[in-house]
Amino acid sequence: MGGVDHRKGPRRRGDELNQAIFTAALEELVEVGYQRLTMERVAERARTSKASLYRRWAGRPELMMDAVIHAFPTVGELPDTGELRADLFAALRTMADALNSPLGQAVRSVLAEVAIDQKAMLRHRERFVERRNQLMLDLVRRAAARGQVRPGALTPRVAAVGPALMRDHFLTHGGPITDEVVAEIVDEVLVPLLRA
């Protein structure tokens, strides 16, 4: 027969339990890093059973991906200073703040997963890449309407350069993305590219 009921608290159901699991997953991530993060310990920390985790997610990659989506629900607002450079700086600075936060670790786990598993990227690219590219395209489009951008600059490829450089910097350098780095990307790359 089954064991004695040793439960330590009331059962949670549905979204309430999801929330607790995400919280536990992100805490565990910050505490031990992605490499040493295990389903077993997430379940423990969330005070739920592994079976409950596996009911929802096929495995660690899927859980962590959803935990990150939960941690970073939105891309942010479209800056509107009326000035190209300031808008660019503000947009990339917002991105840097997110990456520099304690939960930047969570972003690293996503990058690791999509590096390993191309299909994970296909599933989540809209969420992690295209939305931010769209925001940049809107920003550039607005600057174009103000006559601040050269005609050929209004392409998705050009709009994607800023976020791509930020992601690559985050991946290829340790530590936080400083304002100096953001300014360099804006002043040496984006402004010359967009203005000409």
* Residue labelled with tokens 């505490």: 31
Tell me how far CA of residue 179 lies from CA of 54, 80, 105, 118, in angstroms: 42, 19, 20, 32
Binds 17: which of a second copy, DNA, none (CB < 5-8 Å by kind):
DNA
Stretch that binds DNA, among 4-12, 117-125, 128-136, 154-162 (CB under 7 A): 4-12
Q: Sign (positive/negative) of CA torsion 65, 66, 68, 69? A: positive
Which residues in the 41-70 window bind DNA by CB under 7 A?
41, 47-52, 54-55, 59-60
119 interacts with DNA by CB under 7 A: no
142 interacts with DNA by CB under 7 A: no
- Rounded to whole angstroms, how far apart are CA atoms 176 and 179? 9
Region of 33 please: left (phi>0), alpha (psi -120 to 50) or beta: left
14 interacts with DNA by CB under 7 A: yes
Stretch that binds DNA, among 39-47, 84-92, 145-153, 171-179 (CB under 7 A): 39-47
Q: How far is the CB of 121 from DNA (least distance, A)?
A: 20
